[in-house]
Amino acid sequence: MASKLTLMRRLALQQARSLLYELPCFMLLELPGRPHVVYELRDYSQQDAEAGSEVARHDLPFLFRPFEVGQAPPPKERGGLEAPRDSTIHEYLNWTVTAQALVREDNLTTRPDTRPRRQDFTGFRVIVLLPRLRPGWPAPGAYETEQPKPCEELGGPKNPLPGLLTNGKAVCAATIRCGRGYIEIPFFATKESRRGRGFGRCLLEAIEEVARVVGVSKLLLCSTDDAGTIATWRHLGFRETGDGELMGWGICWGDLLHMTNTTQMVKILDPPKRWKSLVVRHQHFAQRAYYPGAEPAPRVGWKRRIEQRDMGADEEEEEEEEKEGEGGADETDGAAGGEENGGTGEGEISPRRSKTSNTNS
């Protein structure tokens, strides 16, 4: 009986982990309220795991370096039988970013008072934050056509304007995996030259958006065990948690990738914000910007939203929003029209020049 329950629980966990695999990868997504960045999910899992990890290390060296500095690398393979050994942090990073379906049993993720436990790495995705490119002097007509949303469930409520482009390489990255009611974050890092500028907070907001889409309400973070790092995560809404609280949520120690000399932290997500939008125009430049409304949006999981869409509920809501938005803001009303119409209207802001103004100002 116990083995049957264990098998059923394991199957439920694997089903929960597969939710991230249903979201698109390598598609730029808009982050509402953060017009200077975009984010995307990445899949580095390949048939050749070593090749996948090499690509990830080339794209995101800052994700590996902070955890590996000062740590002994894995020994080189010499052929033949090798003596049993514990895995290294280098190997754990490789297996995590490539979501390897192997199972390991060693002391790297084991508490001092327990025996070595089995650990698998399936279900992981890498989420990255990139600077957004917004040409200040676009060609005439370049911003007249809106780019369709790459994913209906993720990104801003409306089509991005201008189209999503990146300006350089990723500045922040994390590995995430979905569980039963939570998303775990074992590795999180910001590029050394970009720290202290709020990029970590932006990536955390992107992870929260993904969590709400798949219908979970908790983030579980594996933080390095030092006072400064823990204080930073507390400032971002996390707090320490322990075995008792995790067990109360139905989360066993073996469900998480938790390593030695780390602290497990949790953040309970707030309801999603209800975003309002306006379009800022200047000559040939145009950009849609978002700002939070007065009331939070209802929390509806991804699966439930898909069911509602299939039943036609979303189409009815859109018709109601269009009716309410007919009296929305025009170019002279700015954002006020959106407020008066329950947030469904979209304002536009255009600069007004006096007759004596300089065209270059």
Domain CATH number, residue 237: 3.40.630.30
Q: Residue 47 is part of which domain span?
A: 2-68+89-268
Give the whole-angstrom CA distance, residue 236 versus residue 238: 6
Q: Indicate if 202 and 254 belong to the same structural domain.
A: yes
Q: Is the distance from CB of 128 to CB of 170 less than 8 angstroms?
A: yes
Residues 161-208 pLDDT 10s: 888 999 889 999 999 999 999 999 999 999 999 999 999 999 999 999
Give the whole-angstrom CA distance, residue 306 versus residue 300: 10
Residues 226-273 pLDDT 10s: 899 999 999 999 999 999 999 999 898 788 888 888 899 999 999 998
Q: Indicate if 31 and 165 belong to the same structural domain.
A: yes
Q: Taking Cα atoms as reference points, which of 132, 157, 143, 142 lies closest to residue 40?
A: 132
Residues 43-72 pLDDT 10s: 998 778 789 999 999 999 999 999 988 887
Domain presence at residue 79: no
- C-beta neighbour count of 273 within 10 angstroms: 16
Q: Where are the beta strands (DSSP E) in 72-181?
A: 103-106, 117-120, 124-131, 172-178
Q: Indicate if 13 and 151 belong to the same structural domain.
A: yes
Angle between helices 61-68 and 49-59 (to 10 degrees): 100
